[in-house]
């Protein structure tokens, strides 16, 4: 039997781990790169299609909506078919969407392409989490998860200044065609490199729709809600600001020029990548030396994140460098996934992870919308939103995160008591 979770093959940095990391990591890199590249090619797309700001903003909404809705079948597919097979099937959608995006001749085609991309990449991270949970020693999962997530953080960074340089030699369509080829390559790598899980525990007589509906039973599980609020609130900041609002904030609240704002956004992306990597490294260190439990590290992350959001709200543009540690801590909160993995049975984790991901993206969509609603109450001068409006929006975001951190601190003893290992 190929599955040997506690054998030498299951140790970190073993040949088995590399068979998992290389194909799953490349797929996740492609997903974050393609997902965030629109912020860099937006001027070219706007000029080619004559888009209004509202139409351009529709890209993000469609992508997030498709990503979130895809979580319902994703969880069932992960538990029934395993991470490898599920991701291969979904990447076919992402590949088609990326190529359609490159060849699009109308706004409707652009929207359809972004929907396919969002749905297709919905399993890029969770499929790897599912496979890692199946194959690797449980005590090493935080480190394995963070290494995989770090690769995605590098994708965020690659979609910034390197794309600007590439646009000097290639059109945005050529870059997107090449990106579609990279997705196709990731599919081949998964098929020929990644091990396939034995998912024989799932009851095959149940329909996929019935299983998806059954996933909703976890929505009322207290174990999920003990942990979910902090990662939901912090990741909502990541997706709503890194994908949309941080750029306008740098321009309007911090009054930075284009080059300075670009540098600050690159530093923020570096914070994302560092947080993805160090959340697992730190958790692994704390666990090995019995310095702090994963749960307490998670609680500290939530409290510090709330404090930094309060600083951004109070000091405005003068606190622009705080976005780097804010983005760092938003990804540090990903330690919540292995924490939840210790609260549920292995055969349930795919559906629980997917439900949590849906909650995160629903909250991201709402937070993105909430910031815009608050800004609408303040005057717009010369195309720039009011710094006071941003302050009010960030105060609301701070309140949400502070409440989530307090909730986690209250239920921390119960979480530590309920964990299975």
For residues 218 and 191, state if they share a domain. Answer: no
Residue owning tokens 């008591």? 417
Torsion angle of C-alpha atoms 362, 302, 288, 82, degrees rounded to 10: 0
What backbone phi and psi angles, to 5 degrees, belong to 384? Answer: -110, 135
Triad 212, 101, 245: Cα angle to 5°: 75
CB 311 within 8 A of CB 324: no
pLDDT at site 293? 82
230 lies in the same domain as 285 = yes
Nearest to 37 by CA among 164, 208, 223, 144: 164
User: Is position 8 within any domain?
Assistant: no
Q: What are phi and psi of 277, to 5 degrees?
A: -75, -50
Q: Are residues 260 and 326 located together in one domain of the fold?
A: yes
**Residue 255 sits in the same domain as residue 187:** no
The answer on 227 and 179 residing in a single domain is no
Residue 371 confidence (pLDDT): 84
pLDDT per position in the chain (421 positions), as tens?
344 444 444 455 678 888 898 999 999 999 999 988 877 787 788 789 887 656 766 677 788 788 888 877 887 788 788 899 999 999 999 999 999 999 999 999 999 999 999 999 999 988 998 888 888 877 777 778 778 888 988 998 888 778 878 888 999 999 999 999 999 999 999 999 988 877 654 445 556 666 667 677 888 889 999 999 999 999 999 888 877 778 778 888 999 876 777 778 888 888 988 888 787 777 777 777 777 788 888 999 999 999 999 999 999 999 999 999 999 999 888 788 888 888 888 778 777 887 888 899 888 878 878 888 888 888 877 767 889 999 999 999 999 999 999 999 999 988 888 875 5
Please provide residue 260's backbone torsions phi and psi, each rounded to the nearest 5 degrees: -65, -40
Whether pTM exceeds 0.85: no
Closest by CA to 280, choosing from 136, 166, 98, 150, is 150
C-alpha 386/C-alpha 379 separation (Å) is 6
Q: What is the pLDDT at residue 200?
A: 56
Residue with tokens 């460098």: 321
pLDDT recorded at residue 277: 79
How many domains are contained in the chain? Answer: 2
Residue with token string 């994908």: 243
| Residue 208, pLDDT score | 61
Residue 50 pLDDT: 83
pLDDT at 207: 61
Residues 140 and 62 in one domain: yes
Structural domain containing residue 38? 15-196
Same domain, 176 and 238: no
Same domain, 188 and 261: no
For residue 137, tell me if it sits in a domain.
yes
Quick check: is 348 in a domain?
yes
- End-of-domain residue from the set 165, 196, 227: 196
Question: Is 258 a domain residue?
Answer: yes
In a domain, 201, yes or no: no
Residue 373 lies inside a defined structural domain of this protein? yes
Domain assignment of residue 114, yes or no: yes
* Longest pairwise C-alpha distance within the chain: 66
CATH of the domain at 340: 1.20.1250.20
| 257 in the same domain as 178 | no
**Structural domain ending residue among the three candidates 161, 196, 231:** 196
Same domain, 137 and 26: yes
Distance CA 367, CA 56 (A): 18
Alpha-carbon torsion angle 305, 311, 313, 319, nearest 10: -110
For residues 188 and 247, membership in a common domain is answered with no
Per the DSSP assignment, residues forming a β-bridge with 384 are 381
Among 164, 196, 228, the domain-final residue is: 196
Answer yes or no: is 207 within a domain.
no
Do residues 147 and 281 share a domain? Answer: no
């Amino acid at each position: 039997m190929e599955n040997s979770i506690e054998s030498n093959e299951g140790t970190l940095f073993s040949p088995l781990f590399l068979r998992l990391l290389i194909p799953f990591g490349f797929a996740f890199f492609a997903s974050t790169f393609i997902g965030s590249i629109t912020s860099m090619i937006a001027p070219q797309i706007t000029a080619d299609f004559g888009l209004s700001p509202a139409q351009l903003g529709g890209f993000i909404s469609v992508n997030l909506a498709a990503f979130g809705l895809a979580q319902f079948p994703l969880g069932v597919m992960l538990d029934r078919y395993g991470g490898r097979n599920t991701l291969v099937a979904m990447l076919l959608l992402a590949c088609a969407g990326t190529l359609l995006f490159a060849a699009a001749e109308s706004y409707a085609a652009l929207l359809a392409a972004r929907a396919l991309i969002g749905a297709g990449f919905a399993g890029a991270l969770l499929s790897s989490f599912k496979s890692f949970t199946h194959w690797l020693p449980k005590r090493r999962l935080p480190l394995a998860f963070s290494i995989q997530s770090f690769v995605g953080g590098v994708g965020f960074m690659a979609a910034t200044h390197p794309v600007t340089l590439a646009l000097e030699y290639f059109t945005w369509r050529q870059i997107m065609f090449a990106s579609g080829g990279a997705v196709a390559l990731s599919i081949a790598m998964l098929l020929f490199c990644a091990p396939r899980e034995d998912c024989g525990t799932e009851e095959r007589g149940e329909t996929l729709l019935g299983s998806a509906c059954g996933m909703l039973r976890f929505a009322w599980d207290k174990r999920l809600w003990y942990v979910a609020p902090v990662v939901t609130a912090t990741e909502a900041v990541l997706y709503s600001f890194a994908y949309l609002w941080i750029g306008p904030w740098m321009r309007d609240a911090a009054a930075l020029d284009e080059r300075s704002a670009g540098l600050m956004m690159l530093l923020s992306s570096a914070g994302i990548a560092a947080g993805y990597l160090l959340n697992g490294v730190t958790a692994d260190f704390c666990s090995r030396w019995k310095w702090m439990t994963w749960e307490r590290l998670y609680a500290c992350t939530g409290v510090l994140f709330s404090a930094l959001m309060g600083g951004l709200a109070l000091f405005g543009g003068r606190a622009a460098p705080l976005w780097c540690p804010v983005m760092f801590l938003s990804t540090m909160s990903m330690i919540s996934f292995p924490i939840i993995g210790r609260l549920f049975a292995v055969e349930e984790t795919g559906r629980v992870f997917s439900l949590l991901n849906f909650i995160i993206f629903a909250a991201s969509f709402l937070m993105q919308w909430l910031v815009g609603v608050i800004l609408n109450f303040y005057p717009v001068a010369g195309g720039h939103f009011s710094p006071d409006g941003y302050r009010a929006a960030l105060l609301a975001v701070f309140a949400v995160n502070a409440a989530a951190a307090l909730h986690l601190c209250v239920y921390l003893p119960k979480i530590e008591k309920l964990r299975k290992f």
